[in-house]
Amino acid sequence: MDLSGIRLKRMGAKGVCIADAPDGRVMLVRGGVPGDVVSVKIRRKRKRMYEAVVDQVEQASDLRIEPVCKHTAMCGGCSWQQMDYEAQSKAKGQEVYDQLRRHGHILCDDMRPIIAAPSPLRYRNKMEFSFSAFRWLTEDEIHGEETISRHALGFHVPGFWDRILDIETCHLQGEPSNAIRNFIRDQAHERGISFWRPRDKTGVLRTLMLRSTQDGQWMLVMQFGEEPGQAGMQLLDDVLKAFPGIVSLYFAVNEKGNDSIYDLDLTLHHGEAYITENMPSAIEGGFPLSFQIGPKSFYQTNPVQAQRLYMEALNLAGITEGDTVYDLYTGTGTIALFMAQKAAKVIGIESVPEAVEAADRNAERNGISHAVFEVGDMRKAFDESFIERHGRPDVVITDPPRDGMHPKVVERLIDLKAPKIVYISCNPATQARDLEKLQAVYDIVTVQPVDMFPQTHHVENVALLHLKNA
């Protein structure tokens, strides 16, 4: 079912545009920009709404721009490149406020404008690409007479787990990311090294990950679907010769059904076990921090905005020299160590043992002895005995995954009644749900969105909570 003459009114949740269908139903449209008049293809019909995608732009919005990337229509990684960046960031800020007010019934007098990213492109420090012997073909390629290679190194086409869109230039990571990737794909094709066949689970070249630091260190992680043999190992050596900025190169043979590296044994083929990201102090009297990033480490993918996010959290927390701070869902301890610049004691808790080991190493590396970390399931480990061991906190920082905090953790925070909570979230919807419960004993004092992921609908938000009648 196709419809034409549809005017897109505003942005909605998860990057869709809101429009009115001719029959009065609400229409959720992907691929549009507020103000566009479009024809759409209906993908799903529900009782009160349609889900649709833009088929053709009949009248372009003033906010619509020409995408930088030629792959954006099919890739899905930069779903907002067709919209002016200032409009993108404003839409994200509005989405945060709408989620908090509509779903969390949050009352807050200090809802601040979103902090936009200084660089809407080339901001990512980590990218993952997949090899495939079955490249996604365009309509012109399908019907053309030219014989073309089906080898691909790029991203999964949305909705097709076994089809890869070959990427010439990705604008999310700085160079030489594209040069490294294209070199590997072209050399592998010339040398006859097989690409991954996901349905058969055969092929030598499976995935490629590139990590980088702001001072130009690069890490390459290759997954082979089969033993690489002499040709595969020679390819790795030739990549190192062509790109001396690669200071760490790992590989693994992965015969599993999925591409996850976290349960694989990785082999360090060349160089250092880690690359090191430096975070200069942005506060008076603070100290610079450095973090070792391994192939399995979590680190914010936008390091510039990560520092800005942590600064906002630190400033809102109002930490003083004698304060005890809890950092829930601490990960590798980046936020905890940032808070340690002011706090007397910081205690981080995290469920992943490898992450806590990394947090301990990061603390030692930075000479920080007043930050300690514990492994534990947050629902069970964050209990009275934890509080007895470490003392009652003056400030709680919580930065949970997209699903938000478990109800038992929310209940524990309500019982704990720390004077202040700083809640950092990458999902305004689950944050709104949790904040609504916390409002029983807390006032939501400040809300500060931060755009960590330009060209996408994703957004981070920081909320400051004060204990009522404290």
| Cα 260 versus chain centre, distance | 16
Residue 174: helix, strand or coil by DSSP?
coil
- Say if residue 360's pLDDT is above 90: yes
Side by side, the strands of the sheet bearing 324-328 are 110-111, 442-450, 460-467, 420-425, 395-398, 324-328, 345-350, 371-375
Crossing angle of the two packed helices 85-104 and 428-438, in degrees rounded to 10: 40
pLDDT-based confidence at 165, cuts 50/70/90?
very high
The mean pLDDT of 348-352, rounded to a whole number, is 93
- Assess contact for 202 and 193: CB atoms under 8 A: no
Q: What's the pLDDT score for residue 159?
A: 75
Q: Delineate the domains of the chain, giving CATH numbers in brackets.
A: 2-64 (2.40.50.140), 90-120+277-467 (3.40.50.150), 126-276 (2.40.50.1070)
Write down the catalytic residue from 17, 108, 170, 426. 426
Token pair recorded at residue 81:
């490149």
Q: Does the annotation count 108 as an active-site position?
A: no
Residue 470's nearest CA partner among 424, 423, 416 is: 416
- Say if residue 28's pLDDT is above 70: yes
Residue 416's nearest CA partner among 432, 430, 398, 429 is: 398
pLDDT-based confidence at 135, cuts 50/70/90?
confident
Q: What's the pLDDT score for residue 176?
A: 97
Residue 116's nearest CA partner among 446, 455, 399, 432 is: 455
Kindly provide the residue ranges of all beta strands, DSSP E only, lying in 227-344, ordered along the sequence.
246-253, 267-271, 275-279, 289-293, 324-328
Q: What are the two backbone dihedrals, phi and then psi, of residue 89, each rounded to the nearest 5 degrees?
A: -65, -40
10 Å CB burial of residue 62 (0-12, 13-18, 19+) is exposed
- What is the average pLDDT value for the chain, to the nearest integer? 92
User: How many whole angstroms separate alpha carbon 188 and alpha carbon 464?
Assistant: 51
Q: What's the pLDDT score for residue 469?
A: 83
143-153 pLDDT tens trace: 666 656 788 99
Cα Rg of the chain, angstroms: 24
| β-bridge partners, 17 | 11, 29
176-194 pLDDT tens trace: 999 999 999 999 999 999 9
User: How many whole angstroms separate alpha carbon 196 and alpha carbon 152?
Assistant: 9
**Range with lowest mean pLDDT among 101-110, 183-192, 411-420:** 101-110
pTM of the shown model = 0.90
User: If you average pLDDT over each of 144-153, 354-363, 396-405, which comes out highest?
Assistant: 396-405
User: How many whole angstroms separate alpha carbon 447 and alpha carbon 464?
Assistant: 7
Other beta carbons within 10 angstroms of residue 372's beta carbon come to: 19
User: If you average pLDDT over each of 98-102, 250-254, 293-297, which comes out highest?
Assistant: 250-254
- Say if residue 284's pLDDT is above 90: no
- Say if residue 429's pLDDT is above 70: yes
CA dist list (Å): 30 to 47, 83, 194: 19, 12, 36
- Assess contact for 32 and 11: CB atoms under 8 A: no
Residue 396's nearest CA partner among 311, 446, 324, 345 is: 324
Q: What's the pLDDT score for residue 2?
A: 81
- Assess contact for 41 and 2: CB atoms under 8 A: yes
